[in-house]
Structure 1
């Protein structure tokens, strides 16, 4: 069961993904694959990460930055919850 805090992060992550989506932005969901479903390539991924860092006041570790870790909206939400829950130090 998600807490109100987790739900808020989820909604904010979805909005960031929508802003960076190359297509199909109105259908962003937790299960969305950001590359296949929304056209986020490596260039847009950089923009997405910068937007996430600004939105949540976190720093994404370069070693964590890969399509495997950021391939779906759900994985991004989990990452942000971990970072934001530790004051950005996950």
Structure 2
């Protein structure tokens, strides 16, 4: 794969993680939180996202990754942890590209 393909294809997991981490910091309203987010971070338990913040986060995910999410079909496994989110977003980006 050449560099042009990397720029136009679906994002890799590392890129997805970085973008999700940054979005979560923005949604939480504390950019300093970003540094402590790992793949094991629980979006609800560790970051304390409430339902409104979660909806805003999911809408921002759609914009950030140019995706159309089926909100009613989402499971906690897909959005409960940063790792689950990364895998879900990467898979959706590949599927929708």
TM-score by length of 1: 0.80
Moved over 6 A (4+): none
Unaligned runs of 5+ in 1: none
Aligned match of 2:15 = 8
CA-atom RMSD in angstroms: 2.0
- Residue-pair matches, total: 85
Residue deviations 1:40-74 (CA, integer Å, cap 9, x gap): 01111000001100000001112333434311011
1:55 aligns with 64
Whether the 8 Å contact between 1:22 and 1:40 is mirrored in structure 2 is: no
Larger proportion of helix: 2
Distance 2:78 2:14 in 1: 20
Structure 2: how far apart are the matches of 1:66 and 1:20?
20
Q: 1:25 to 1:64 in 2, by over 3 A?
A: farther
Relative contact order, higher structure (CA 8 A, sep 6+): 2
Relative to the length of structure 2, the TM-score reads 0.75
What is the rounded CA distance, in whole Å, between the counterparts of 2:15 and 2:75 in structure 1? 24
Structure 2: tracts of 5 or more residues without a match: 1-10
